[in-house]
Amino acid sequence: MNSQWKFAALSGLCGAVAALVLVYAGSSFGFLPANGPGIHAYLMAHPEIVADMTNKLQQEQDDADNLASQQAVDKLGVKAFFNPHIAYITGPANAKRTVVEMFDYNCPYCRQSFPYIKKFYAQHKNDTRFAFIEFPIKGPDSTFAARVALAARKQGDKYLALHFALMGETDHVDANMILADAQKVGIDMNKLQADMKSPEVNLGISESLALAQAAKVGGTPFFVINGRIRPGALDEDTLKQMAKG
């Protein structure tokens, strides 16, 4: 799970808890000096102990979060992610393999995963059911990008062209860049502006956020591949392995 999903306070808390547990256990069993100055000196001389315990606590928390999310997705069912109000859906309706991605256009980990998703889509668009879901959580520019993308769905396959263009950007996407990319991929800008005022756009975003909450999604990207969750960035090998089913 990517670190951007955790508040800084959680890391600090884990470190403090780890240190307290270490001190208590070490003193109780005679592994650490019993006096305060001695404990301080020992920890200063062996800071890797606290770091190791903090990492272990963090991993246990991540595992618990992932388990809760997987259980929530199992309860919802994969079909919940193929709601046309929420997702841009493409691929055969009877495909045995399904790939869902919830993303934010300003998410660096989404961009890190993008080349592998794009390549996999090109190779499997005729035998895999895909759901691309806007999940704007990184501020007003991300929300604007999601609104533009949702409106672009009314122009057929122009949506994917825009999606690939925005996800392929390396800088922060703002309104100017978003609209420039829309124009570059051949979107009818007058229609786009009109469609952005549609209640369906607001509904799409609100339903996406509600779905994420129900599925206990903590950040982006969030993948559901053949019913199995994958929080955070993935590489080509991981994607291939999960897609085998």
| HEC letters along 179-222 | HHHHHHCCCCHHHHHHHCCCHHHHHHHHHHHHHHHHCCCCCCCE
Please check the confidence at residue 219 and state whether its pLDDT lies above 80.
yes
Please check the confidence at residue 81 and state whether its pLDDT lies above 70.
yes
pTM check: above 0.75:
yes
For residue 36, the model assigns a pLDDT of 59
Mean pLDDT of 71-83: 97
Please check the confidence at residue 245 and state whether its pLDDT lies above 90.
no
Per-residue pLDDT reduced to its tens digit, 16-69: 444 545 544 555 545 555 565 666 676 677 777 667 767 777 666 767 778 999
Question: Cα separations (Å) of 229 from 8, 100, 130, 145, 203?
Answer: 24, 9, 14, 25, 25
Per-residue pLDDT reduced to its tens digit, 117-130: 999 999 999 999 99
Identify whether the C-beta of residue 129 lies closer than 8 Å to the C-beta of residue 97. Answer: yes
Please check the confidence at residue 210 and state whether its pLDDT lies above 90.
yes
Write out the DSSP string of 139-175.
-HHHHHHHHHHHHHGGGTTHHHHHHHHHHT--SPP-H
Identify whether the C-beta of residue 100 lies closer than 8 Å to the C-beta of residue 231. Answer: no
The CATH classification of domain 79-243, taken from the options 3.30.70.260, 2.40.50.140, 3.40.50.300, 3.40.30.10: 3.40.30.10
CB-side exposure of 195: number of CA atoms within 13 Å? 19
For residue 154, the model assigns a pLDDT of 95
